[in-house]
Amino acid sequence: MMYVMIKGKPAKSTKIFNLSVEGYDLPDLMVRWLGEILYLFEGEHKLVTGVDVNAVSHSRVDATLETVSFNANLHEILCEIKAVTFHQIEVVKKDNRWEARIIFDL
Amino acid sequence: MDIKIEKIDEHRWLIPKTGPMRVPGLIFSNTELINAVREDQSLTQVANVATLPGIVDHALAMPDIHWGYGFPIGGVAAFDLDEGIISPGGVGYDINCGCRLMTTLLQAEDIRPLMKDLVIALFKNIPSGVGSTGAIRLSKRDEIKVAVQGAAWAVKKGFGTTEDLERTEDHGVMVGADPSVLSDRVIKRGKNQLGTLGSGNHFIEVQVVDQICDSKKAQAYGLFEGQVTVFVHSGSRGFGHQVCDEFLKEMSKPSQKVSFKLPDRQLACAHLKSDPGRRYLSAMACAANYAWANRQILMHFVKETFLKSLSVNPRELGMKLLYDVCHNIAKKEQHTVDGTNVVLCVHRKGATRALPPGHPLLPEIYRGVGQPVLIPGDMGTHSFVLSGAKGAMIQSFGSSCHGAGRVLSRSKAVKMAKGRAIHRELEDKGIFVQSRGKRTLKEEMPEAYKDVSQVVEVVHEAGLARKVVRLRPLCVIKG
């Protein structure tokens, strides 16, 4: 999602913190998780540069995030994501791997 | 759902009531526009809205309809207060996204040599772009006042006059705003964004009145041929976005699930009389008020820029607010249904209120002619001013279209614009553009939108609102 919004990889991480998100099924969990990432940018002006998932189930994700502060001189906004939508959402396991299809409202 | 539509006449199409639909769908369109509508999901979305409890009469769609979150953009739906629901997706993420039109005493020909300087000055003075912040930093106390007082807060701070409030829908304030329902995140996002334009399809456009369609109404609105006018299109910024996001999440929770099956989980909603329903209405009112304050301040910045850039005094400039309309809102309004007066909750998502002459909610100055209905087009062609007509009260709960409506997604528009210099193409037409985002111009290029003249023609012929003047762009700033 970050690569949809922002050009280039930021140079340094400046903050590490834990994020936990709950949802009532996998699609809902995915939407809420990405919604939190989006809020970090929109509300806190932070870009997520790394994610370590510590625990995940069908209803909860616990992760450690690395973030940098958004800097208009360093980071080019490619496009604005208005919302993470449920439209045609899919979070499925295929051949032992998890795949997700998400449509963003731009 | 496999959606069948039936042509009623040249400007109206019916989605017959089938399956879980509680009412039929009614689409205002023409033969050409309806073919484009079939290509995305918007007809399915109209049919889905028609399944919601308490919906009255029809699920409606304006001729600029296109695919949205749950509800289509260009959708109107009215709900009974006892049995009906409120849906954040039926209002939109940008609560009270809307526009205002200012008139001036200037002739376009007189300022044409200064147009390039003017657009650069507007771009410099008005904060725009994704996540843009402005010069106004609100304390929490002031932000709460903005959320309750709306445009009046801005007027009290010296941004404009009380006359502006008369010329704003609902006097620039929605009652029922309760800031105690707002989260810390909402407050945080709204803190530094007042007086900023935003991005995407938000813009400030300087125009010339290039065609008079109804000279009597044009005169009543203070419009004349060759006149310079200014459109401001913006909304509630991060404040409103956060309100929508939070209530969508709350209304999606299993514990909040309503007693009927939703055909699309993006129609997450709550009964109007429920606790989440009431709290959403209160929060939505706060966001609506934030947006009105925002546009009031943006208008002030535009006026200041004109005075300095064109070296005119306020009397020479004569900038006045014609009207301000919202096009993403839900309001309790009185309407006549089957001969009975009822109060309904009308959702307008990408639709504009269009009150006819004589309506008691109109300011005195417009009661004889009807409410100005402001329809911005794309940045390369025209915009329109219409006046509300009786047909809107009979057919569409007093509603009209809101703009041209997208035909291309943003990514498709960017692909189509590859290798093209959109700003130069517009300059060749005499339109100067400044934009913040590199992709914005491509995403917003004229071909990305429906032909606004056709959209307006449908509304005019269907009797929802009548054409008054046509406006042509001279310069535009976008985020």
Domain count along chain B: 1
pLDDT above 70 for B438? no
Q: Do A77 and B130 touch (CB under 8 A)?
A: yes
Burial of residue B350 (CB within 10 Å: 0-12, 13-18, 19+) is: buried
How far, CA to CA in Å, does B247 sit from each of A9, B76, B159, B276? 33, 20, 31, 8
A25 touches chain B (CB under 8 A): no
Q: Do A43 and B200 touch (CB under 8 A)?
A: no
State the pLDDT at residue A106.
79
In B67-132, DSSP assigns E strands to 73-80, 85-86, 98-107
What are the phi and psi torsion angles at B31 (to 5°)? -60, -40
* CATH number, position B289: 3.90.1860.10
How far, CA to CA in Å, does A32 sit from each of A54, A87, B75, B114, B464? 17, 14, 26, 49, 40
State the pLDDT at residue B442.
76
Asked whether B173 and B85 are in contact (CB, 8 A), the reply is no
B336 C-beta neighbours (distance < 10 Å), count: 11
Q: Do B185 and A70 touch (CB under 8 A)?
A: no
Best of A39, A58, A81, A91 to mutate (most B CBs within 10 Å, chain B): A39
Q: What would the two tokens of residue B393 be? A: 């009260």
Q: How confident is the model at residue B422 (pLDDT cuts 50, 70, 90)?
A: confident
Q: pLDDT tens across B73-98, in order?
A: 999 999 999 999 999 999 999 999 99
| CA B93-B96-B98 angle, 5° bins | 115
pTM: 0.95
Find tokens 């023409």 and name the residue: B30
Whole-angstrom distance, CA of residue A25 vs CA of residue A60: 9
Which residue type occupies B259? S
Return the bridge partners of B328, or none.
B349
State the pLDDT at residue B333.
98
How large is the average pLDDT for residues B169-183? 98
Q: What would the two tokens of residue B275 be? A: 């606790």
Return the bridge partners of B330, or none.
B347
- Which positions in chain A touch B188 (Cβ < 8 Å)? 43
Please tell me the distance in Å from B358's CA to the nearest CA on chain A: 39
| Structural domain boundaries enclosing A59 | 2-105
Residue B444 lies in a domain: yes
> Minimal CA–CA distance to B223: which of B115, B385, B365, B355?
B385
Please tell me the distance in Å from B130's CA to the nearest CA on chain A: 7
Please tell me the distance in Å from B266's CA to the nearest CA on chain A: 7
Whole-angstrom distance, CA of residue B235 vs CA of residue B197: 8
> Minimal CA–CA distance to B49: which of B9, B3, B81, B95?
B3
Which chain B residue shows the shortest CA-CA distance from A103?
B69
- Which positions in chain B touch A88 (Cβ < 8 Å)? none
How far, CA to CA in Å, does B396 sit from each of B63, B336, B392? 12, 11, 5
Bridge-based pairing of strands B383-388 and B372-375 is antiparallel
| Structural domain boundaries enclosing B359 | 6-478
Closest by Cβ to B253, choosing from A24, A77, A87 = A24
Closest by Cβ to B131, choosing from A42, A79, A106 = A42
Q: pLDDT tens across A21-61, in order?
A: 999 999 999 999 999 999 999 999 999 988 999 999 999 99
Asked whether B21 and B233 are in contact (CB, 8 A), the reply is no
pLDDT above 70 for B143? yes
Helix (H) or strand (E) holding B388: strand B383-388
How large is the average pLDDT for residues B169-191? 97
Q: pLDDT tens across B209-257, in order?
A: 999 999 999 999 999 999 999 999 999 999 999 999 999 999 988 765 5
Q: Provide the mean pLDDT of chain B.
A: 94
Whole-angstrom distance, CA of residue B215 vs CA of residue B47: 40
| CA B94-B98-B102 angle, 5° bins | 150
State the pLDDT at residue A73.
80
Q: pLDDT tens across B386-421, in order?
A: 999 999 999 999 999 999 877 777 777 888 888 888
Q: How confident is the model at residue B312 (pLDDT cuts 50, 70, 90)?
A: very high
Q: What would the two tokens of residue B319 be? A: 């900038």
> Minimal CA–CA distance to B323: which of B277, B263, B386, B245?
B386
A74 touches chain B (CB under 8 A): no
Return the bridge partners of A62, or none.
A20, A55
- Which positions in chain A touch B185 (Cβ < 8 Å)? 39, 43
Domain count along chain A: 1
- Which positions in chain B touch A82 (Cβ < 8 Å)? 93, 200, 241
ipTM of the complex: 0.91
Which chain A residue shows the shortest CA-CA distance from B240?
A82
Encode burial over B269-299: b for 16+ CB neighbours within 10 A, e otherwise. Answer: bbbbebebbbbbbbbbbbbbbbbbbbbbbbb
Size of interface A-B (CB pairs under 8 A): 57
Find tokens 């096009």 and name the residue: B327
State yes or no: is B233 an active-site residue: no
Please tell me the distance in Å from A86's CA to the nearest CA on chain B: 7
Q: Provide the mean pLDDT of chain A.
A: 88
Q: What would the two tokens of residue A12 be? A: 């340094």
Please tell me the distance in Å from B190's CA to the nearest CA on chain A: 9
Residue B29 lies in a domain: yes
Bridge-based pairing of strands B73-80 and A97-101 is unpaired
Whole-angstrom distance, CA of residue B246 vs CA of residue B252: 10
* Residue B363, CB-side half-sphere exposure with 13 Å CA sphere: 19
Of chain B, the percentage scoring pLDDT greater than 90 comes to 82
* CATH number, position A49: 3.55.10.10
Strand, coil or helix: B198: coil
> Minimal CA–CA distance to B478: which of B430, B444, B450?
B444
Residue B272 lies in a domain: yes
Note the residue count of chain A: 106
Residue B1 lies in a domain: no
